[in-house]
Chains A and B, each alone.
Chain A
Amino acid sequence: MNICFKGIRAVNPAQNLDETVNLWIKDGAIAHCDSSAPKLDPGTEQIDGKDLVAAPGFFDMHVHFRTPGEENEEDINTGCASAANGGFTGVVCMPNTTPCVDSVAVVELIENKAKGKLVDVKVAGAITKNREGKQISEMFELNDAGVPFFTDDGSCVMCTETLKRAFDYALTRDLLIAQHCEDHTLTEGFSVNESIFATKLGLKGYPSIAESNIVFRDIETAKYIGNCRYHVMHISTARSVELVREAKKNGARVTAEVAPHHFTLDDSIIASYDTNIKMNPPLRDKSDIEALKLGLKDGTIDAIASDHAPHALHEKDVEFELAPCGIVGLETALPLAMTELVHTGVLSIGQLVEKMAVNPRRICGLNVPEIKLGELANLTVFAPNEEWHISTKHFKSKSKNSPFNNFVVKGKQKYVFNNNQVINCVL
């Protein structure tokens, strides 16, 4: 590896960096990073950086790689390929696998498969054994094995007594509890957001309060136990954003992530009964999208996470009400965030890098890579102004269940560097 970007904009809010440099990456490390002309080795590949941005490698704290158990949908190889093609150099896999991640053995199984990849793969642990919401899992041992946080994602810890115990136990080591906020008693049999569109289509709705009531309960519980660290996953409603904003103002150690589809699409498009717009939480309404954007802008929402949820074609090619929830998202996250947030003035490029590279790592307690001489190269290079058509046929994910096929977007990932490897993003 021996590549030099000439005159590239290097952006990393974690080191107060936003300047145009000549960035030379050699043998996995940064060999030059300032405005002076580097004395390049003969044979160095030179790339014009005029229309490019270099940022710390993006980190997606919410992906489903379906391993172990559902490797027909995704495996570690294709998941990592998809992440790299999406501009990500690190991910956190959710624990709702079969068997689920409630033991060190499963953590090691996943991490072993990910050895030697460009993409760093972390694994979140389940809050409760078998994600049943009853008995808390062996959090200390899982944490010692490198688990960055705990969640029963896919399910919410419904029993408040169990949640209270999880917070009490986690506080011993100041571990992070992340919640899939869904009051399951309100959402049984849902297909879409509860709204007038659901009425028109004759579909059972998932009311916004099913999310925000849990967010409220959890914030109160975390505060009561002793200002525990708490993270709201895939936040989707205006009221949830308000609750997180208020909690932060009051000093709570609360963070939140949002998925790109939730700030891009609203639930009026469900009229198509396209199973690729069925996800959990469901697409919300236009006012929720505005609230999510405001939450990103004012820092209430810390991170953008794809909730990459692959499903095989035959699983989605069924009756809408029977289709599984979820869409693939790694390869469309940056373009959607650029199109919907940066090019509309909601976020600066620096803020985008915070949400996609800096904050997710900080929430997970990981170091943020720096862009400076001598550092290992952990970088994402993207073209912020390139317009293109999304085509799912280029996705490296094993699954193609995306509603964004043929969408026109502005902003495209180009290269990722990590672990002494480089991948050219092809989309």
Chain B
Amino acid sequence: MEELSISRPYLLQADDLTANDIQSIFSRAQFFIDNYKPGVKFDDLKGLTVALTFFENSTRTKLSFELASKRLSADSISFQSSSSSQKKGESLIDTLRTIEAMGVDMYIVRHVCSGVPGFLQANTCGAVINAGDGKHEHPTQALLDTFTLQKHFGDLKGVKVCIIGDILHSRVARSNITVLRTLGAEVKVCAPGTLFPRRLNYWNVEIIEHIDDAIEWADVALVLRLQRERMESGLLPSIREYSNYYGVNFEHFAKKPELVLLHPGPVNYGIELDYNINQYPNVKIQTQVTHGVFIRMALLSLIAKQLKVKRAKVA
């Protein structure tokens, strides 16, 4: 088997990943899928300490990373704080220094503020992995999404993906647009103006105004979770109207049963998706979760390797 590696000893945003990096991660993930058996542990992270530092509530991402690091034989510690540390009078940078002083090598970071992983990476000699920062990025979600798609299509070149929903506030959308494009997929979006102001289209991505047209065009619908607070903050007139005009429903599947559907979860059934849509063969929501663990194992494994290279150079 060829030696796999990635360019950087950290992952802050999707731009950090080249197409080769992504394929290396995918290959390693496939290796873990092929070789994982209950009770088996890999030693990729043996001797390394991983800190799960979650400054924002998370269930699935945290569990996924925790399991991934355990299956790779890491020592792991975990920290979750729903309120920011600043409210308790401790600065984030101090929290980092405290954890670092305990001898931590890798940090899985989730935070409500955009840009925090980069801020921490600049202040540590360990490796930071972004597990979701504010409205900025969630690169491992994009990796597991695109891995799921690559396994389905074989190759993402020319595959048409429409991202539907709250683009403006979505870190999942940001990371996915970049990774999908890096792998050669064609990306369009479907969202009302308040959830994707047209003048703020950084990616110059084409916008499909009508959900029916979006589904007709797309091979893949990547449906985003609608946060109830968007309605409460006045960005939407009502959940009802959003659901009627941007929800993916049985009628869409009736016309296009082969549609591949991704959702980062947790799903608001009845809002962005009809309930029981799982009966369609290409609804991949559970597959995404399963792949999530293997993708994170692959990423941790390759970053640990880079970290060792970096440390050998410093030494």
Chain A contacts to B: CB under 8 angstroms: 191, 194-203, 205, 273, 314, 317-322
- Contact B86–A318 (Cβ < 8 Å): yes
Q: A320-B113, A321-B114 are in contact. Are A199 and B119 (CB under 8 A)?
A: no
Q: A318-B91, A319-B92, A319-B111 are in contact. Are A203 and B135 (CB under 8 A)?
A: yes
How many of chain B's residues have a CB under 8 angstroms from any CB in A? 24
B194: A residues at CB distance < 8 A? none
- Contact A201–B115 (Cβ < 8 Å): yes
> Does any Cβ of A come within 8 Å of B315's Cβ?
no
- Contact A195–B91 (Cβ < 8 Å): no
Which residues 170-191 of B sit at the A interface, judged by CB distance below 8 A? 171, 174
Could you list 12 further interchain pairs (A-B, Cβ under 8 angstroms) beyond the known A273-B115, A318-B86? A191-B114, A196-B202, A199-B202, A200-B174, A202-B114, A202-B171, A273-B119, A319-B84, A319-B86, A319-B113, A320-B114, A320-B116
What separation, in Å, do the CA atoms of A305 and B108 have in the docked complex? 44
> Does any Cβ of A come within 8 Å of B207's Cβ?
no
> Does any Cβ of A come within 8 Å of B309's Cβ?
no
Nearest CB in chain B to that of A194: its residue: B200
Nearest CB in chain B to that of A203: its residue: B114
What separation, in Å, do the CA atoms of A317 and B93 have in the docked complex? 7
Which of A194, A198, A202, A318 is the one whose CB lies under 8 Å from B133? A202
> Does any Cβ of A come within 8 Å of B118's Cβ?
yes
> Does any Cβ of A come within 8 Å of B136's Cβ?
yes
A317: B residues at CB distance < 8 A? 91, 93
Chosen A-B contacts, 28 in total, with CB atoms closer than 8 Å, are A191-B114, A196-B201, A196-B202, A199-B200, A200-B202, A201-B115, A201-B136, A202-B135, A202-B136, A202-B137, A202-B169, A202-B171, A202-B174, A203-B135, A273-B114, A273-B115, A273-B119, A314-B91, A317-B91, A317-B93, A318-B91, A318-B92, A318-B93, A319-B84, A319-B92, A319-B116, A322-B86, A322-B113
**Residue with the highest number of chain B CB atoms closer than 10 Å, among A200, A314, A317:** A200
B135: A residues at CB distance < 8 A? 202-203
Which of A197, A205, A314, A320 is the one whose CB lies under 8 Å from B115? A320
- In whole Å, how far is A321's beta carbon from the nearest beta carbon of chain B? 4
Which residues 51-78 of B sit at the A interface, judged by CB distance below 8 A? none
What separation, in Å, do the CA atoms of A319 and B137 have in the docked complex? 15
A198: B residues at CB distance < 8 A? 200
- Contact A199–B114 (Cβ < 8 Å): no
- In whole Å, how far is B141's beta carbon from the nearest beta carbon of chain A? 14
> Does any Cβ of A come within 8 Å of B168's Cβ?
yes
Nearest CB in chain B to that of A204: its residue: B135
Which residues 118-163 of B sit at the A interface, judged by CB distance below 8 A? 118-119, 133-137
Q: A202-B114, A202-B174, A273-B118 are in contact. Are A321 and B200 (CB under 8 A)?
A: no
- In whole Å, how far is A246's beta carbon from the nearest beta carbon of chain B? 24
**Residue with the highest number of chain B CB atoms closer than 10 Å, among A197, A202, A273:** A202
- In whole Å, how far is A3's beta carbon from the nearest beta carbon of chain B? 46
A320: B residues at CB distance < 8 A? 113-116, 119
A195: B residues at CB distance < 8 A? 200
Which of A191, A199, A273, A322 is the one whose CB lies under 8 Å from B168? A199
**Residue with the highest number of chain A CB atoms closer than 10 Å, among B84, B92, B115:** B115
- Contact B93–A201 (Cβ < 8 Å): no
What separation, in Å, do the CA atoms of A319 and B168 have in the docked complex? 20
- Contact A202–B134 (Cβ < 8 Å): yes
What separation, in Å, do the CA atoms of A314 and B201 have in the docked complex? 34
What separation, in Å, do the CA atoms of A199 and B199 have in the docked complex? 10
What separation, in Å, do the CA atoms of A200 and B201 have in the docked complex? 9
Which residues 244-288 of B sit at the A interface, judged by CB distance below 8 A? none
Which of B84, B114, B169 is the one whose CB lies under 8 Å from A201? B114
- In whole Å, how far is B301's beta carbon from the nearest beta carbon of chain A? 28
What separation, in Å, do the CA atoms of A320 and B136 have in the docked complex? 12
What separation, in Å, do the CA atoms of A201 and B113 have in the docked complex? 11
- In whole Å, how far is A58's beta carbon from the nearest beta carbon of chain B? 36
What separation, in Å, do the CA atoms of A318 and B133 have in the docked complex? 14
- In whole Å, how far is B273's beta carbon from the nearest beta carbon of chain A? 24
**Residue with the highest number of chain A CB atoms closer than 10 Å, among B114, B118, B133, B168:** B114
Nearest CB in chain A to that of B12: its residue: A273
What separation, in Å, do the CA atoms of A372 and B168 have in the docked complex? 61
- Contact A196–B114 (Cβ < 8 Å): no
What separation, in Å, do the CA atoms of A321 and B118 have in the docked complex? 13
- Contact B200–A196 (Cβ < 8 Å): yes
- In whole Å, how far is B170's beta carbon from the nearest beta carbon of chain A? 9
A314: B residues at CB distance < 8 A? 91
- In whole Å, how far is A169's beta carbon from the nearest beta carbon of chain B? 36
What separation, in Å, do the CA atoms of A197 and B133 have in the docked complex? 16
- Contact B91–A199 (Cβ < 8 Å): no
Nearest CB in chain B to that of A195: its residue: B200
- In whole Å, how far is B135's beta carbon from the nearest beta carbon of chain A? 3
B84: A residues at CB distance < 8 A? 319, 322
B200: A residues at CB distance < 8 A? 194-196, 198-199, 205
B174: A residues at CB distance < 8 A? 200, 202
- In whole Å, how far is B105's beta carbon from the nearest beta carbon of chain A? 23
B119: A residues at CB distance < 8 A? 273, 319-320
Which of A199, A201, A318, A319 is the one whose CB lies under 8 Å from B201? A199
- In whole Å, how far is B213's beta carbon from the nearest beta carbon of chain A? 23
A203: B residues at CB distance < 8 A? 114-115, 134-136
What separation, in Å, do the CA atoms of A321 and B113 have in the docked complex? 6
What separation, in Å, do the CA atoms of A196 and B115 have in the docked complex? 16
What separation, in Å, do the CA atoms of A194 and B91 have in the docked complex? 27
B202: A residues at CB distance < 8 A? 196-197, 199-200
B115: A residues at CB distance < 8 A? 201-203, 273, 319-321
- In whole Å, how far is A285's beta carbon from the nearest beta carbon of chain B? 12
Nearest CB in chain A to that of B174: its residue: A202
List the 5 closest A-B pairs by CB distance, nearest first: A202-B135, A202-B136, A273-B115, A196-B202, A319-B113
- In whole Å, how far is B87's beta carbon from the nearest beta carbon of chain A? 10
- In whole Å, how far is B117's beta carbon from the nearest beta carbon of chain A? 10
What separation, in Å, do the CA atoms of A201 and B137 have in the docked complex? 8
What separation, in Å, do the CA atoms of A199 and B92 have in the docked complex? 24
What separation, in Å, do the CA atoms of A331 and B175 have in the docked complex? 40
What separation, in Å, do the CA atoms of A201 and B116 have in the docked complex? 11
B116: A residues at CB distance < 8 A? 319-320
What separation, in Å, do the CA atoms of A19 and B59 have in the docked complex? 74
Interface flags, B79-93, vs A, CB<8A=1, else 0: 000001010000111
What separation, in Å, do the CA atoms of A320 and B92 have in the docked complex? 11
